[in-house]
Amino acid sequence: MHVVIMGCGRVGSSLAQELDARGHSVAIVDQDPAAFRKLPSTFGGRTVAGVGFDRDRLIEAGIERADAFAAVSSGDNSNIISARVARETFRVPKVIARIYDPRRAEIYQRLGIETVASVAWTTRQMVHSILPEKVEDWHDDTGTVVMAPLTFSVDWIGERASRMAAETGARIAFVTRLGSALLPTADTVIQEGDRVHFLFTTDSRDAVTTALAAGPKRG
| Claim to verify: residue 117 and residue 146 sit in the same structural domain | no
CA dist., res. 148 & res. 71, Å (int)? 24
Sign of CA dihedral 133, 183, 213, 80: negative
| Claim to verify: residue 74 and residue 159 sit in the same structural domain | no
**pTM of the predicted structure, to 2 decimals:** 0.58
* CATH number for 37: 3.40.50.720
| Claim to verify: residue 18 and residue 43 sit in the same structural domain | yes
β-pairing verdict for 145-149 and 138-139: antiparallel
Which of 110, 130, 150 is where one domain is finished? 130
Q: What pLDDT was estimated at residue 49?
A: 97
| Claim to verify: residue 90 and residue 158 sit in the same structural domain | no
Helix axes 10-21, 122-130, angle to 10 degrees: 40
Q: What pLDDT was estimated at residue 68?
A: 94
Sign of CA dihedral 67, 46, 96, 173: positive
User: Is the pLDDT confidence value at 216 over 90?
Assistant: yes
Least confident of 78-82, 129-133, 191-195: 129-133
| Claim to verify: residue 27 and residue 92 sit in the same structural domain | yes
Q: What pLDDT was estimated at residue 76?
A: 84
Helix spans in 156-204 (H): 161-168
pLDDT tens digits for 157-189? 999 999 999 999 999 999 998 878 899 998 999
User: Is the pLDDT confidence value at 133 over 60?
Assistant: no
Phi then psi for residue 44, to 5 deg, are -100, 5
| Claim to verify: residue 125 and residue 31 sit in the same structural domain | yes
Residue 106 DSSP symbol: H
* CATH number for 167: 3.30.70.1450
Average pLDDT over residues 184-199: 93
Read off the pLDDT band of 110 (50, 70, 90): low
Residue 219 lies in a domain: no
Residue 123 lies in a domain: yes
| Claim to verify: residue 86 and residue 104 sit in the same structural domain | yes
What is the three-class DSSP state of 147?
strand
pLDDT tens digits for 44-65? 999 999 998 899 999 999 999 9
User: Is the pLDDT confidence value at 122 over 60?
Assistant: no
Tally the domains of the chain.
2
Q: What pLDDT was estimated at residue 120?
A: 42
Q: What pLDDT was estimated at residue 38?
A: 94
Domain that holds residue 89: 2-130
